[in-house]
């Protein structure tokens, strides 16, 4: 759950939070002064905004007095950033990092917030490679012969594998997640423009095409300072009769919640329901409580708690008038974050759902990014979250009950082993 200030033009920059930039000449006295001012802003922001007023028991003033001389003596921006990141790392929490100002410029070349048209292909990452996932029927990608399972090598000449490798080298899970999201964003643009892509099929043959873009499916909605998002919902019956529900983001509750309700009612006699949260980055947290209410009949149950400086949000579930009490399977992957993780972990803790897929993003906290006087950025968390059983999701994510991975071969063959495993479990619960 990220909140992006208007001064930050492109959210994909966070995908490169911890990458090292080249060393520069010794800093001038003026640069040192600005770096000290930036240090004070980072230090005071943590002091004033960290959700725990005790800062996890740290003597924050003592840390200030220890780090400030390091900033004053730093001979390069690398040393400044190392000192600042070392300071905030003492908090032992994710979503605290200094972002190199040099990384903004090349990444701000991505699509603007109103450039949401796509060539009709989604990208997933399998074994460190960007792979074509779903391809929309009759889309520019489909008409050009792009098929699920093809490997994406480059977008407008930019090597995709290099982007992913740089993010992996950071060793930071949040960095990797947002780097992968940035690859998908690079496919976006205006409906009038085209994007040049290089794919490799399963036989190793290269395919270079320029794809037109079309407006994607879904309703265009806004939330906070985030760019406009396309939100869509789908439901259907799986081959074995289980109901299947999927929506891509926890946004637009006025539209999404009635559709979830209608789908659950239509599956009242189904042997089970599969709720697919794969690739869902989250959104409005309270929607998790509303959706849980379709499947939990007991009063007073919670999905966990989120603590902020001045308030604690308890994710209390309020059962609906009609509750589905059959088997519930939840599908997740590394793209499932924020509200998706809260819902999946909460339902798993309650023993109300069995979770399938791969470990989630481990990024449940709301955070903000501000510009520092020296041009760098600073990301900081505004809350802490724990599940009902006391699990902290940050940096760890939700661990599925059954680990099921989708391979490139599965995509090429049009198979979804994760959904298949979930339905197999549902059908096995029949007596």
Beta strand ranges found along 55-167 (DSSP E): 97-99, 121-126, 129-135, 151-155, 158-159
Q: Which of 20-34, 330-344, 392-406 has the highest average model confidence (pLDDT)?
A: 330-344
> What is the C-alpha separation between 293 and 322, in angstroms, rounded?
9
Kindly indicate the confidence band of residue 30, based on its pLDDT and cuts at 50, 70 and 90. Answer: very high
Sequence-ordered list of residues with C-beta below 8 angstroms from that of 283, at least 6 positions apart, any chain? 1, 223, 249, 250, 251, 338, 339
Question: What's the pLDDT score for residue 378?
Answer: 86
Residue 267 sits in the same domain as residue 401? yes
Residue 78 sits in the same domain as residue 135? no
Question: What's the pLDDT score for residue 183?
Answer: 80
The answer as to whether 132 is a domain residue is: yes
> What is the C-alpha separation between 191 and 338, in angstroms, rounded?
30
Residue 125 sits in the same domain as residue 203? yes
The answer as to whether 375 is a domain residue is: no
Residue 31 sits in the same domain as residue 180? no
The answer as to whether 100 is a domain residue is: yes
The candidate with the shortest Cα–Cα distance to 76, out of 47, 35, 38, 43, is: 35
Range of the domain at 166: 121-212
Among 177, 212, 247, the domain boundary falls at 212
What is the 3-state secondary structure of 379-430? EEECCEEECCCCCCCCCCCCCCCEECCCCHHHHHHCCCHHHHHHHHHHHHCC
> What's 199's domain CATH number?
2.30.42.10
The answer as to whether 388 is a domain residue is: no
Q: Do the beta carbons of residue 315 and residue 289 sit within 8 Å?
A: yes
Question: What's the pLDDT score for residue 23?
Answer: 44
Among 153, 177, 212, the domain boundary falls at 212
Question: What's the pLDDT score for residue 266?
Answer: 97
Question: What's the pLDDT score for residue 15?
Answer: 39
Place of tokens 């940035």: 182
Place of tokens 């008409």: 143
The answer as to whether 224 is a domain residue is: no
Residue 197 sits in the same domain as residue 86? no
| 3-class secondary structure, 170 | coil
The answer as to whether 356 is a domain residue is: yes
Residue range 387-398: mean pLDDT, rounded: 84
Place of tokens 């911890």: 18
Residue 27 sits in the same domain as residue 102? yes
Residue 6 sits in the same domain as residue 93? yes
Among 50, 75, 107, the domain boundary falls at 107
Question: What's the pLDDT score for residue 10?
Answer: 35
Paired tokens of 92: 């032992």
Q: 12-26, 228-242, 251-265, 391-405 — which is least confidently predicted? A: 12-26
The answer as to whether 190 is a domain residue is: yes
Place of tokens 């520069």: 24
Residue 196 sits in the same domain as residue 246? no
Residue 253 sits in the same domain as residue 289? yes
Residue 145 sits in the same domain as residue 284? no
Domain count of the chain?
Answer: 3
The candidate with the shortest Cα–Cα distance to 200, out of 156, 150, 143, is: 150
The alpha helices in 222-302, defined as continuous H runs, are 253-266, 286-292
Residue 254 sits in the same domain as residue 328? yes
146-164 pLDDT per residue, tens: 999 999 999 998 888 877 7
> What's 103's domain CATH number?
3.30.750
The answer as to whether 227 is a domain residue is: no
Task: Calculate helix-pair angle for 29-49, 60-73, nearest 10 degrees.
Answer: 160
Residue 206 sits in the same domain as residue 263? no
> What's 313's domain CATH number?
3.90.226.10
Residue 229 forms beta bridges with which residues? 221
């Amino acid at each position: 759950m990220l909140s992006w200030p208007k001064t930050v033009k492109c959210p994909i920059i966070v995908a490169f939070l911890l990458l090292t930039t080249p060393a520069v000449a010794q800093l001038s006295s003026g640069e040192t002064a600005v770096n000290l001012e930036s240090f004070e802003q980072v230090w005071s922001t943590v002091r004033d905004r960290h959700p725990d007023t005790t800062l996890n028991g740290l003597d924050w003033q003592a840390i200030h007095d220890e780090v400030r001389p390091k900033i004053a003596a730093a001979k390069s921006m690398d040393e400044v950033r190392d000192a600042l990141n070392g300071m905030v790392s003492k908090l032992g929490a994710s979503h605290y990092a200094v972002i190199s100002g040099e990384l903004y410029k090349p990444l701000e070349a991505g699509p603007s917030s109103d450039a949401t048209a796509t060539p009709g292909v989604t990208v997933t990452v399998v074994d460190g490679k960007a792979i074509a996932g779903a391809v929309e029927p009759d889309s520019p990608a489909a008409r050009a012969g792009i098929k699920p399972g093809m490997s994406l090598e480059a977008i407008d000449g930019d090597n995709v594998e290099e982007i992913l490798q740089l993010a992996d080298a950071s060793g930071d899970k949040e960095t990797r997640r947002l780097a992968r999201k940035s690859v998908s964003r690079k496919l976006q643009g205006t409906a009038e423009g085209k994007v040049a892509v290089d794919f490799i099929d399963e036989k190793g043959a290269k395919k270079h095409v320029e794809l037109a873009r079309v407006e994607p499916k879904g309703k265009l909605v806004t939330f906070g300072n985030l760019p406009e998002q396309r939100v869509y919902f789908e439901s259907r019956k799986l081959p074995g009769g289980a109901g299947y529900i999927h929506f891509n983001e926890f946004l637009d509750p006025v539209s999404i919640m009635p559709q979830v309700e209608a789908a659950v009612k239509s599956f009242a006699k189904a042997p089970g329901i599969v709720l697919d949260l794969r690739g869902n980055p989250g959104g409005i947290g309270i929607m998790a409580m509303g959706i849980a209410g379709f499947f939990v009949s007991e009063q007073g149950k919670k999905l966990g708690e989120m603590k902020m400086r001045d308030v604690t949000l308890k994710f209390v579930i309020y059962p609906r008038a009609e509750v589905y009490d059959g088997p519930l399977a939840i599908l997740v992957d590394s793209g499932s974050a924020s509200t998706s993780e809260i819902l999946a972990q909460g339902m798993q803790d309650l023993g109300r759902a069995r979770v399938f897929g791969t470990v989630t993003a481990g990024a449940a906290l709301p955070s903000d990014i501000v510009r520092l006087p020296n041009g760098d950025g600073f990301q900081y968390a505004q809350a802490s979250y724990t599940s009902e059983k006391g699990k902290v999701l940050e940096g760890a994510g939700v661990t599925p009950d059954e680990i099921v991975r989708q391979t490139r071969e599965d995509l090429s063959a049009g198979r979804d082993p994760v959904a298949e495993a979930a339905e197999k479990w549902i059908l096995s619960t029949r007596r």
